[in-house]
């Protein structure tokens, strides 16, 4: 349930589901997001779910903060939790050319690169949210033994397709971008396709991802 609704400037608000970040809370966020989106409340211009919040922007020429709150509070919340979300398999090449921070992680985590990758590939990951860069998915939850802080000095450029780890989360960089996550590999798959206007994102909140390892040769030949 929503714990609190607060304004975020003049033409936006956020619905707060509490401080905890886990799959249970995020599933409620996604369920509310779908309900609000499907309700087509007049004046709402954008709805963005995150780990434990929903940010809503609106047109002040059509509606206002108090009216949006009333609309949300009066919604009849239907459950979408039984809907089948996608299970997506994503290939990753962990060649040294792409695993930019594997040596750093070995020192911090005090385990070998082989162990790091074995643990990483040995589970499924839940997509909590997309954002920051168009279509960029954020996943949880990493094995406790793989949790490390961000780089002290972020990179100016992280290559498109890079797989990053930090704290309990991992992500995929959909475009080249500055970033401070620990990079362990790269995928040849296009995660965000702006040419696909109706459905540009391959991975959406609520989806599950299974990563699997490919060789550098397979990576190079993937899109041929």
Reply yes or no on whether the pLDDT at 85 is more than 80. Answer: no
pLDDT of amino acid 121? 96
Average pLDDT over residues 160-175: 96
pLDDT of amino acid 151? 95
pLDDT of amino acid 82? 62
Average pLDDT over residues 95-121: 96
Length of the chain equals 224
> What is the rounded CA–CA span in Å between residue 146 and residue 38?
38
Signed CA dihedral, 71, 76, 79, 80: sign only: negative
Reply yes or no on whether the pLDDT at 83 is more than 90. Answer: no
* CA 181, chain centre distance (Å): 13
Q: With bands split at pLDDT 50, 70 and 90, how would you rate the model's confidence at 41? A: very high
Buried b (16+ CB within 10 A) or exposed e, 58-84: beeeebebeebbebbeeeeeeebeeee
Do the strands 182-186 and 162-166 form a parallel or antiparallel pair, or are they unpaired?
antiparallel
CATH 2.40.100.10 residue ranges in the chain?
Answer: 87-221
Share of the chain above pLDDT 90, in %: 69
pLDDT of amino acid 78? 83
pLDDT of amino acid 133? 85
> What is the rounded CA–CA span in Å between residue 139 and residue 75?
29
> Is cis: bond before 52, omega within 30 of 0?
no
CATH 3.30.1360.40 residue ranges in the chain?
Answer: 4-73
> What is the rounded CA–CA span in Å between residue 181 and residue 99?
12
CATH entry, 87-221, from 2.40.100.10, 2.40.70.10, 3.30.70.330, 1.10.357.10: 2.40.100.10
Q: With bands split at pLDDT 50, 70 and 90, how would you rate the model's confidence at 81? A: low
Residue-wise pLDDT tens digits, 122-150 = 999 999 999 888 889 999 889 999 999 99
Smallest CA-to-CA distance from 142 within 117, 174, 160 is with 117
Reply yes or no on whether the pLDDT at 220 is more than 70. Answer: yes
Residue-wise pLDDT tens digits, 53-78 = 999 999 999 999 999 999 998 888 88
CATH architecture of 4-73: 2-Layer Sandwich (3.30)
Kindly report the backbone phi and psi dihedral angles of residue 182, in degrees, each rounded to the nearest multiple of 5, phi listed first: -80, 115
SS3 53: strand
Look over the chain and give the mean of its residue pLDDT values, rounded to a whole number: 92
Share of the chain above pLDDT 70, in %: 97
pLDDT of amino acid 132? 82
CB atoms within 10 A of CB 12: 17
Average pLDDT over residues 183-205: 91
């Amino acid at each position: 349930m929503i714990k609190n609704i607060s304004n975020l400037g003049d033409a936006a608000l956020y619905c707060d589901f509490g401080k905890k970040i886990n799959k249970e809370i995020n599933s409620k966020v996604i369920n509310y997001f779908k309900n609000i989106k499907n309700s087509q409340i007049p004046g709402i211009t954008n709805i963005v779910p995150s780990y434990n919040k929903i940010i809503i922007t609106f047109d002040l020429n059509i509606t206002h903060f108090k009216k949006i709150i009333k609309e949300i509070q009066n919604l009849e919340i239907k459950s979408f939790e039984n809907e089948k979300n996608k299970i997506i398999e994503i290939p990753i090449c962990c060649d040294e050319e792409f695993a930019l921070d594997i040596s750093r992680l070995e020192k911090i985590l005090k385990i070998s690169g082989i162990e790091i990758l074995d643990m990483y590939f040995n589970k499924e990951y839940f997509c909590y949210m997309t954002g920051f860069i168009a279509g960029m998915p954020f996943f949880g939850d990493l094995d406790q033994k793989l949790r490390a802080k961000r780089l002290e000095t972020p990179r100016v450029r992280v290559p498109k397709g890079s797989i990053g780890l930090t704290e309990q989360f991992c992500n995929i960089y959909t475009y080249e971008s500055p970033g401070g996550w620990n990079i362990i590999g790269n995928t040849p798959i296009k995660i965000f396709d702006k040419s696909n206007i109706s459905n540009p994102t391959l991975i959406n909140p609520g989806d599950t991802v299974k990563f699997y390892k490919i060789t550098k040769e397979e990576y190079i030949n993937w899109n041929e």
